[in-house]
Amino acid sequence: MTYFIIIISAIFVNNIVLSQFLGICPFLGVSKKISTGIGMTGAVTFVMVIATIVTYFIQEFILEKFGITYLQTISFILVIAALVQLVEIVLKKVSPPLYQALGVFLPLITTNCAILGVAIMTVSRDYNLIEAVIFSASSAVGFGLALITFAGIREQLDLVNVPKGMQGAPIALVVAGLLAMAFMGFAGLV
């Protein structure tokens, strides 16, 4: 039952983007097309889950063991940066069009506060390894759900007449706010 609560909470109730406002840069920047949203979701999911596993072991067996937990943030950032470099190399070889589509936002995963936030939350919530992996995967799914839904709405907005003063970023922020309010409907669920 605990795992179910973690999953539902991370995807819907405490959505990393819409409830906790982490990962806003890729959420707004890569959400113009569903295809790039799916690619970013895959990259963020991979980095988030692997980073959570690696940072869990670093926290458990190095930082706490030697009493140097004050190095948590910098060590977690280094792990995330290394993983993003790995994803970048793989995407460049495997899918050059996706690599080009993600553009500057792929290196920005390094500084994506959603990934660092999830890694820190798993430690601060005292999750064991299985709970940490479930939480990070569910948070990534929640991130992807919000990103792909938002991308679909933005693609539809390109097909309608939007007043000139609301085109671009203003309408995107209004839609993001409405999407966040829609996800607030799940607040009493868990």
pLDDT value of residue 95: 83
pLDDT in tens, 67-126: 999 999 999 999 888 888 888 888 889 888 878 877 666 777 776 789 999 999 999 999
The three-state DSSP-derived secondary structure of the chain is CHHHHHHHHHHHHCCCCCCCCCCHHHHHHCCCCHHHHHHHHHHHHHHHHHHHHHHHHHHHHHHCCCCCHHHHHHHHHHHHHHHHHHHHHHHHHHCHHHHHHHCCHHHHHHHCHHHHHHHHHHHHCCCCHHHHHHHHHHHHHHHHHHHHHHHHHHHHHCCCCCCHHHCCHHHHHHHHHHHHHHHHCCCCCC
User: 178 in a domain, yes or no?
Assistant: yes
- Give the residue among 4, 5, 16 at the shortest CA–CA distance from 141: 16
User: 2 in a domain, yes or no?
Assistant: no
pLDDT in tens, 110-126: 767 899 999 999 999 99
User: 8 in a domain, yes or no?
Assistant: no
pLDDT in tens, 23-62: 888 888 878 889 888 888 888 888 899 999 999 999 999 9
User: 1 in a domain, yes or no?
Assistant: no
Structural domains in the chain (count) = 1
User: 10 in a domain, yes or no?
Assistant: no
C-alpha 127/C-alpha 75 separation (Å) is 19
What is the phi/psi pair of residue 71, to 5°? -90, 10
- Enclosing domain of residue 173: 15-185
**pTM, to two decimals:** 0.87
User: 5 in a domain, yes or no?
Assistant: no
* Overall residue count recorded for the chain in this entry: 190
- Give the residue among 128, 68, 144, 2 at the shortest CA–CA distance from 76: 68
